[in-house]
Amino acid sequence: MNHFHYRDGKLHIDETAVETVARAVPTPFYLYSQGEIVDRFRAFDGAAKRRLKSHLTCFAVKSNFNPAIVGLLAKQGAGADIVSGGELLLALKSGIPADKIVYSGVGKTAEELKLAVETGIKRINVESAEEAVLLNEIAVSSGKKADIALRVNPDVDARTHDKIATGRAENKFGVDWTRARELYRDFSAAAGLNPVGIDVHVGSQLLEIEPFAETFERAAQIARLLRADGVAISSIDVGGGLGVAYKPADAALSPDAYMETASRILGGEDCEIIFEPGRFLVADAGVLVSRVVRVKQARDRRFLVLDAGMNDLVRPAMYDAWHNVLPVRQGGEDRIYDVVGPVCESGDVFGKARVLPEMKAGDLVAIETAGAYGAAMASNYNFRPLCAEVLANGGDYAVIRERQSMDDMLKNTRPAP
């Protein structure tokens, strides 16, 4: 499954040497493996297919919204999990049919809800009673009935980083699960709403099965209660969250282990099970390739200063996330470096005390596991351009996003009055 490997001491992606891409594309750039994305989708979706009567795998577009990648997954049969009107248009444009799109988010605007209703997407995952009232008005005035699921907050501790845990009572997401029956009664009476599903998502980067199991149990329990109330629940959306190994010591769950638990708990519910994986499908498929600007010797440490910064990959600064840093060319004596970016923030650090072969200005490194929440969370901070993205497959590669130019960055600015 691993499409990144060393050959003759040089990092390759399939048949292509990373150095070859770096001669043609300005660094830093994201480099993705098409094969890895396809393998991952097949592993996930195949594990579901083998165990469940009916399911849909909706790629969480927020994790990587490059249209070439969304389009690649569309061709594999993926649907999309979206969280904004922009992602809805992007998913459609990338080839995902409306009847495979599910829409979550606590702050959907009237305009976004109208777009979703008019497009006729599969599910609007409603996150509050207030949102449901607005959605009903919009659907009625458009002469439509929106297929909805209530996102319930199951009050489960996902045992992940605080900033990506979403299923505890104190989080803003969903509605307290104990209110589900009351709300579905209201939904059933609303002319513009067709309550057909339940939705949960407890967090991202989960490495243990127990929080998933607890969540699935809660979803099954709610489905049974609602059915007893006469609500025709036909889908249970269990969100995303399947984690990946960022550190060598991380033990990620396999899609088979995850699906075994899903089918054991939800398989008998006579519902379509909807999954929203993001990170699992694309994180390991991408690296951020960066060039050493200089090696800076300080009193007690050596800094490896890269041309990639926290604006390109914010996860270490934002979540204290660990990403492996690999040399693009092996060889040379080991040295210890603090690997940092050029951004004017002390938090612009990719890793401390990392062992790498001796490096000099111009050498290349690859920051691993950067395919999810990497380019998607990049910014222009320090007035730095969004970097290029490249997709490699076998012996070929293609630029799937050009690096921003200065003109691109200034395009929508205007002089002061």
Contact residues toward ligand PLP (CB under 6 A) are 60, 63, 81, 104, 166, 201, 204-205, 239-242, 276-280, 372
Torsion angle, alpha carbons of 169, 179, 133, 135, to 10: 70
Nearer to ligand PLP, 59 or 350 (CB): 59
User: Least distance (Å) from ligand PLP to the CB of residue 266?
Assistant: 17
Nearest Cα to 105, choosing from 119, 125, 122?
A: 125
Query: For residue 265, what is the DSSP state?
Result: H
Ramachandran angles phi, psi of 11, nearest 5°? -70, 130
Tell me how far apart the alpha carbons of residues 295 and 338 are, in angstroms, rounded to a whole number. Answer: 10
| C-alpha to C-alpha distance for 206 and 215, rounded to whole angstroms | 12
When the beta carbons of 12 and 151 are compared against ligand PLP, the nearer one is: 151
- State how far the Cα of 410 lies from the Cα of 120, in Å rounded to an integer: 36
Tell me the CA distances in angstroms from 314 to 26, 280, 323, 326, 376, one per residue in order: 20, 18, 11, 18, 10
Cα–Cα distance for residue pair 226/230, rounded to 1 Å: 6
Pick the closest to residue 384 from 325, 339, 344, 331 (CA basis): 344
Residue 243 C-beta: closest distance to ligand PLP, Å: 7
Which CB atom, from 149 or from 392, has the smaller least distance to ligand PLP? 149
**In the complex with ligand PLP, which residue's Cβ is closer, 34 or 205?**
205
CA angle 255, 279, 110 (to 5 degrees): 120
Q: Which residues contact 215 (CB under 8 A, 6 or more apart)?
A: 154, 156, 167, 200, 202, 238, 239
Min dist CB 377 to ligand PLP, Å, is: 12
Q: Out of 58, 271, 344, 387, pick the active-site residue.
A: 344
Nearer to ligand PLP, 192 or 243 (CB): 243
**Backbone conformation region of residue 16, classed left if phi is above 0, alpha if psi is from -120 to 50, else beta:** beta
Choice between 85 and 241, CB closer to ligand PLP: 241
- Beta strand 175-176 pairing with 193-199: unpaired
> 10 Å Cβ neighbour count for 25?
20
Q: Residue 329, SS3? A: strand
Q: Which residue has the tokens 């104990």?
A: 178
Residue 8 and residue 399: Cα distance in Å, rounded?
25
CA dist list (Å): 315 to 180, 308, 318, 354: 35, 13, 5, 17
- 344 classed as catalytic: yes
Specify the residue, 29 or 212, whose C-beta has the smaller distance to ligand PLP: 212
Nearer to ligand PLP, 277 or 374 (CB): 277
The CB-of-18 to ligand PLP minimum distance in angstroms stands at: 25
Which residues participate in catalysis according to the annotation? 344
